[in-house]
């Protein structure tokens, strides 16, 4: 753990404030101990119970749990029949897993730029990128803010495309009163340790029918189909993607608190907007996310640093925030500028909005255990640093 830090010499030491931290209650911890004592610690009854609860949460749709929110997208693409020679449209401003899974199934990711306001995929550009080889689109709900599902549905229906919603960050979010995951095509969620609910590592895939769910089960565990008492068949090439009962028990405890967690995150986000609305802070020119307190689950609070007004880059800001006892994050560098993707032909300048955001977005602390004073501390520290770095 980081050591306590002080904001200034002579001030009392304050505990280090990370940019995120999971909240796990004692009942869940005790429940994990019960699973460990049971002797059944890999996939078993707790996974089935977790899947049933998730299905209820998503309006009765078929749900299967996995050991990551990455394999869920790969499996969805495989179920959808995406293969070598196909194209999948997505955003370059996301965790690299979103496009890596396209490569895993042999297809080619086709990036389009982001909307500079929402920081999510520009759907007008996405539609313009459709070709005869396009088979699917992967929109990403960055920071928990949903992509326009009405516009998305219209585009995909018009061009007969499958959709794999990268909803890794948006459990608890909604679109016009409907929970993300309760409608649509494939919807993939992550339960990584920094997500709004966690299984330490894990994820789930929401599907359309039981046929897809059965195929997902095959892909989840080496393609195996069992017929009691001793029958076994393998029809597809699967992987080792199953969730454990230990992880599922954590997920059950977390899911019970999701609405509480979401409400607290929205409360903290409102506090951030109030702190950033102070005249001296506004004058620094930091860009804020859309103030959506209805649909977004506020997985993250990200500010856009005013690159043109600063004498140093984001790394310097992060170092000084850390010295002040405050953790920050980067979500995310633009994917197409990684060496792997440059070798595929992408270059600087291809997607200017995503590149600017990738250089300048700074993720600030936001998690349910925080209090209003923490938000004030973060904004004051950041504002002081930006003021000192003005050109």
From CA 325, how far away is CA 195, in angstroms rounded? 22
Look up 195 and say whether it is catalytic: yes
From CA 60, how far away is CA 72, in angstroms rounded? 19
What Å distances lie between residue 42 and 198, 202, 245, CA to CA?
17, 13, 5
Of the listed 11, 83, 176, 195, which one is catalytic? Answer: 195
3-class DSSP assignment, residue 286: coil
From CA 167, how far away is CA 190, in angstroms rounded? 8
The residue among 288, 308, 282, 314 whose CA lies nearest residue 385 is: 314
Say if CB 187 and CB 180 are below 8 A apart: yes
Helix, strand, coil shares of the chain as percentages rounded to 5? 40, 15, 45
Say if CB 317 and CB 364 are below 8 A apart: no
Phi, psi of 311 (to 5 degrees): -90, 0
Number of residues in the chain:
391
Say if CB 135 and CB 95 are below 8 A apart: no
Kindly write down the DSSP assignment for every residue of 87-139, as one continuous string. EEEE-SSS-THHHHHHHHTT-EEEE-PBPTTT-SB-HHHHHHT--TTEEEEE-
From CA 114, how far away is CA 94, in angstroms rounded? 10
Q: How many helices (H) and strands (E) does the chain have?
A: 14, 13
Cite the active site residues.
195
């Amino acid at each position: 753990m980081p050591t306590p830090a002080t904001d200034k010499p002579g001030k009392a030491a304050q505990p280090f404030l990370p940019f995120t931290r999971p909240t796990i209650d004692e009942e869940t911890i005790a429940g994990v101990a019960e699973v460990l004592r049971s002797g059944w610690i890999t996939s078993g009854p707790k996974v089935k119970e977790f899947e049933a609860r998730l299905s209820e949460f998503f309006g009765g749709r078929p749900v299967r749990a996995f050991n990551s929110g990455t394999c869920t997208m790969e499996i969805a693409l495989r179920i959808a029949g995406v293969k070598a020679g196909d194209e999948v449209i997505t955003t370059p401003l996301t965790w690299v897993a979103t496009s890596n899974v396209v490569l895993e199934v042999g297809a080619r990711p086709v990036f389009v730029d982001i909307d500079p306001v929402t920081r999510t995929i520009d759907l007008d550009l996405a539609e313009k990128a459709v070709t005869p080889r396009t088979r699917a689109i992967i929109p990403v709900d960055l920071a928990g803010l949903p992509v326009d599902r009405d516009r998305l549905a219209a585009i995909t229906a018009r061009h007969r495309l499958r959709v794999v919603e990268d909803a890794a960050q948006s459990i608890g979010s909604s679109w016009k009163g409907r929970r993300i995951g309760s409608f649509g095509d494939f919807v993939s969620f992550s339960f990584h340790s920094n997500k709004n609910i966690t299984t330490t590592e894990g994820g789930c895939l929401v599907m359309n029918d039981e046929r897809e769910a059965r195929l997902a089960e095959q892909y989840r565990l080496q393609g195996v189909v069992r017929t009691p008492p001793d029958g076994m068949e393998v029809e597809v090439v699967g992987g080792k993607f199953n969730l454990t009962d230990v992880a599922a028990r954590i997920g059950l405890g977390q899911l019970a608190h999701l609405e509480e967690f979401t409400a607290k995150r929205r409360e903290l986000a409102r506090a951030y907007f109030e702190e950033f609305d102070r005249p001296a802070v506004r004058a620094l020119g930091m860009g804020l996310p859309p103030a959506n307190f209805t649909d977004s689950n506020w997985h993250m609070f990200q500010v856009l640093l005013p690159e043109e007004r600063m004498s140093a880059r984001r790394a310097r800001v992060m170092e000084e925030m850390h010295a002040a006892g405050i953790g920050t994050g980067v979500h995310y560098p633009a994917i197409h500028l990684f060496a792997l993707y440059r070798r595929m032909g992408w270059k600087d300048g291809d997607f200017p909005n995503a590149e600017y955001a990738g250089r300048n977005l700074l993720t600030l602390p936001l998690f349910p255990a925080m209090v209003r004073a923490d938000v004030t501390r973060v904004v004051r520290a950041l504002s002081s640093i930006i003021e000192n770095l003005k050109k």
